[in-house]
Structure 1
Amino acid sequence: MTAFIAPNLDDIWRAATRIAPHAQRTPVLRSHSLEALVGAELHFKCENFQRIGAFKFRGACNAVFALGEADAARGVATHSSGNHAAALALAARLRGIDAHVVMPRNTVRVKVESVRRLGARIVLCEPSQQARAQALAEVVAATAAVEIHPFANAEVIAGQGTATLELIREVGRLDAVIAPISGGGLLAGSAIAACGLCPGAEVFGAEPTGADDAARSFAAGTLQTNASPDTISDGLRADLGAPNFAILQRLGTRILTVTDAETLAAMRLVYERLKIVIEPSCATPLAAIIRYPSAFAGKRVGVILSGGNVDLDALKFST
C-alpha cells in the first residue's frame, strides 16, 4: 500500500484547476440578521448548490480525474453513506468509467436513489465501519477497481479544500473557517487552504454530541471511535480518519460539539434567513457559532455549508 502523503496548498491549487471544467463555483451568501444574532461577519459558502448537492463532488472529481489512464480503466470503488457515493458515481460517469459503491442499509432513501440514478453499482452492507470495510475489500478483490476512500485520500482532501480556496479568493482574508467534521476530509482540506492563504486564521470543526469522536480524539491526543453514533446528522457518523487527524492536529484545529436540538434550530434559521435547503450535517457549523459565540465575536468567519440532500419525508424540525 502506498504511504499517505498529506496534500499542501499547491495540491489544492492543482485540484482547483483539474475540477474547474466539471464543478460548480458555488455562491457565497450573507445574512445581516444572523450576523446580528452571533456578533460576527458570516460568509456562507453554499456547497448545497454543488453538483450532487454537496461538497463531496469536489474531492471525488479531483481523485477520479487525477487517475492515469490504466488505473481509470479499472473503474473506481468506495464506501459511503451517500454524498461521496453520489459524487464518485457522477465523477466516474463524466470520465466514462465504472463505479462500485458500498452503502450501509440504513442510508437515507434520497441518497441511495441518487447514487443509483447516476449509474453506480450498489452493494448494501450492515451499518458498521467493519462491515463497510469488509464489503469494499470484497468488491475491490472481485473487480480490481481503484479504491477512492471518502476522506483518507490525498486527492480527495485536496479537492475538498477547493471550497475554502474559492471562498477566500472571493471574500478576502478570513479570521476563522468552520466546517462540519466526520471523517475529516473537508475540514482537513479547509484547514490547509485557510492556514495557507490566511496565516493565523483559526479553523474549527463542528460535530454532533452523539458522534463526538473528533472532540474526544483531540482531548485524548489519540484517535477515538464511536461505538454507536446517534445523531440526526447522518453524514457525520463516520469516525475521524488518522491522516486527517494528523493534519488537523498540526494546524491547531479546534473541535466544537452541538446537540441535535441545536443543529435542528440552526437548520431552521438557515431555511428562514438564507432561504436555502440544507441537510442536518450542514447546520452544525452555525449551531456551533451560536453555542460558542465568544470564539467568533467580531471576526470574519467562513462557514462551509456542506450539502443539501434532505430526505423531506423523514425530516422534522424539532426533537
Structure 2
Amino acid sequence: MEQKDVLKALQRDHAAELKLAAERLSGTAKHTEIIPSPVLSEMTGHTILLKPENLQVTGSFKIRGAYNKIASLSEEELACGIVTASAGNHAQGVAYAARERGAKATILMPQITPPLKVDATKAYGADVVLHGDVFDEAAAYAAELSEKQGMVYVPPFDDYEVLCGQGTIAMEILDDVPDVTDIVVPLGGGGLGAGVALAVKTFRPEVRVIGAIPEGSPAFKNSLAAGRVVAADQVVTSAEGVAVKRPGDLTFALLNEFLDDLVTVSERDINEMILLMLEKHKLVVEAAGAVSLAALEHLNLRSRKFASAPGPHVVVPIISGGNIDTVTIGAVIQKGMIARGRIMNFEVELPDTPGQLVKVATILAQERANVIALDHDQFKASGVYANAVALGVTVETNGPDHIDRILVALREAGYQPRRIY
C-alpha cells in the first residue's frame, strides 16, 4: 500500500467504520462465545478466556474481513469479479462472501497450502490457482491478474475494510468480557492484529494488545525493531496462516502505534497447544490459531501501563482458525506427545539369547509403559560379529518422570538404553 493511502486510512472515523463493519457482519459472521480455560488459567496464574474463531463460519476469523470488504463494493465492482491470494483461510472467507454477493472469485494460493483448505475453498464455488512457494509470491500474481483482467483485488490483510472486519472480534470481546485486561493475537500480515488493536484503542485504550509470532516467521519482530516494514529473509514455520515474509504497510502503521507487546513462540510450543486444545477443550486448532495460546506462558504481565488494580489478569487469546488437515494434525499430535513426554522411543542392545525380549517386556510392564512398536533387528548390533541384537522400542508414557523411571529400571537390570526421542 502506498504511503498516501496509509495516511488517508489513518484519518478515517475509526469508531464509525468499526460499527459499520459490525452491522454488515450481523447475520453472516458468528458472534463466537467466550470459553473459560481452567487448564490454561492454572498453568499461567491468570484468568484465561478463549475467543474461539476456529468455530467461526468457514473455520476462521477471515470471513469477517473478507465479507466486510466485499460488502463495501458496488454492483459494478462486483460484476468485474474478485481476486485474492491466501494461504487458505482468507481464501475461504473471500469465496464464501463472493458467493453470498453473487460475484465470481479467483483465489491464488501458495503450493504449501494444505489440501483441506484448497478443497474447502473450491467448495464455496471459487476458482483456485496454486502459485508460488509462499504467500507473497501468490499475492504478487494475484495483483498482476487484477491489473490485467480488471478484477477487484481483496487483500488478505493490508486493507482498511478488511482489518475493520477483523476488528469486530475485539468489539465482541470488549462486550462479553468487561474486565478483560489483555488480548493476545497471532500476527502474520497483521490484519487481525491491526484490526483488534484499532478497535481496542478506539473503544477501550486501557486494554493491552499483545502480538504473538512463531520463531520462524520474524517479519513483524524485525519490522517493529527497525521502525519500518522489513521483509524477512525466509519464513519457516508449520503455522502457514502466519507465514508471511512482509507485513502490510497499513497494518504495520497501526501496530507500530498500538501494539503493547510482542511474544515469540517455538514450534514445540505450538504443537503442545494444539494437543492441549484437543485433549482438554475438544477443540481442533490449526497451527496459526495456536500461536496466541502458545504465547500465554511467555507473557510479561507483571506491570501494566494502564493497570487500575493489582492482581491476576483476565487474558483473552484469539484462536484464529481450526482448518488443519488430518495428516498434519496426526503429525502434530505425535510431536506434541513426544514434547510432553507422552511417547518415548529408545534403543537397547541385547545378548542374542532366548528370553531377552521377554525380560525387557516384563520391565516395561512393571513400569506400566504401554508398548506401541518394537523393532528387533540383528543387523543393527554394534558389531558384525557381536553376539547381540538391537532392540528399538516405542512406548506410551505419562510424562518426563515416568520416562526417567523406565530408563532407571532398564539400567538396574543391566541394560544400557539409549533414548532416541
Mark yes or no: TM-score above 0.5: yes
Q: Quote the residue 2:279 is aligned against.
A: 272
Deviations 1:270-312 (A, max 9, x none): 2222221110111111111112354597111121110100111
Normalized against structure 2, the TM-score is what?
A: 0.72
Per-residue CA deviations over 1:227-249 (Å, capped at 9, x if unaligned) read 22111111111132111111011
Cα deviation 1:74-133 (Å, max 9, x = unaligned):
121111110001100000000111111111112111111111111111222111455324
Q: Separation in 1 of the partners of 2:112 and 2:278?
A: 26
Q: Of 154, 161, 179, which aligns to 1:148?
A: 154
1:165 aligns with 2:171: yes
Alignment of 1:28 with 2:34, yes or no, is yes
Query: Is the 2:301–2:313 contact (alpha carbons within 8 Å) kept by the matching residues of 1?
Result: no
2:255 maps to 1:248:
yes
Distance 2:136 2:88 in 1: 17
Amino acid at match of 1:126: G
**Farther-moved stretch of structure 1 (164-173 vs 89-98):** 164-173
User: What does 1:5-84 correspond to in 2, within 5 Å?
Assistant: 5-6=9-10, 8-84=14-90
Deviations 1:182-211 (A, max 9, x none): 000000111111222222211111100001
Tell me the residue number matched to 1:298.
Answer: 312
- Return 5+ residue gaps in structure 1 as ranges: none
Mapping 1:196-207, distance limit 5 Å: 196-207=202-213
Measured in 2, the distance between the counterparts of 1:199 and 1:294 equals 17
Map of 1:261 onto structure 2: 268
Which residue of the other structure, out of 113, 117, 121, is the alignment partner of 1:115? 121
Residues 247 and 49 (structure 1 numbering): CA distance in 2 closer, same or farther, change over 3 Å?
same
Name the % identity.
32
Cα 1:147–1:106 change in 2 (3 A) is: same
Structure with more relative contact order (C-alpha pairs < 8 Å, separation 6 or more):
1
> Residue 23 of structure 1: CA displacement?
1.1
Of 91, 101, 104, the residue aligned with 1:98 is 104
Aligned-pair RMSD on alpha carbons?
1.8
Q: Give the structure 1 partner of residue 325 of structure 2.
A: 311
In structure 1, the residue matched to 2:5 is 3
Q: How many residues align?
A: 319
Q: Which residue of 1 aligns with 2:236?
A: 230
Normalising by the residue count of structure 1, what TM-score does the alignment of the two structures yield?
0.95
Q: Secondary structure at the match of 2:137?
A: helix
CA contact (8 A) 2:84 2:106 kept: yes
- Structure 2 counterpart SS, 1:225: coil
Partner-residue secondary structure (3-state), 2:198: helix
1:47 Cα deviation after fit: 0.5
Q: Any residues of structure 2 matched to 1:170-209 within 5 Å, and which?
A: 170-209=176-215
- Which deviations, in whole Å up to 9, do the C-alpha atoms of 1:3-57 show, x marking residues without a partner? 2413623211110001112111112101222101101111211101111100000
The 1-side partners of 2:36 and 2:46 are apart by 11
Identify the range of structure 1 (236-245 vs 92-101) with the bigger mean alpha-carbon deviation: 236-245
Indicate the SS of the match to 1:272.
helix
Larger-Rg structure: 2
Compared CA separation, residues 88 and 206, structure 1 to 2 (3 A) = same
Instruction: Identify the residue that residue 291 of structure 2 maps to in structure 1.
Output: 284
Between 101-110 and 180-189, the greater mean CA deviation after superposition: 101-110
The farther-off stretch of 150-159 and 230-239 is 230-239
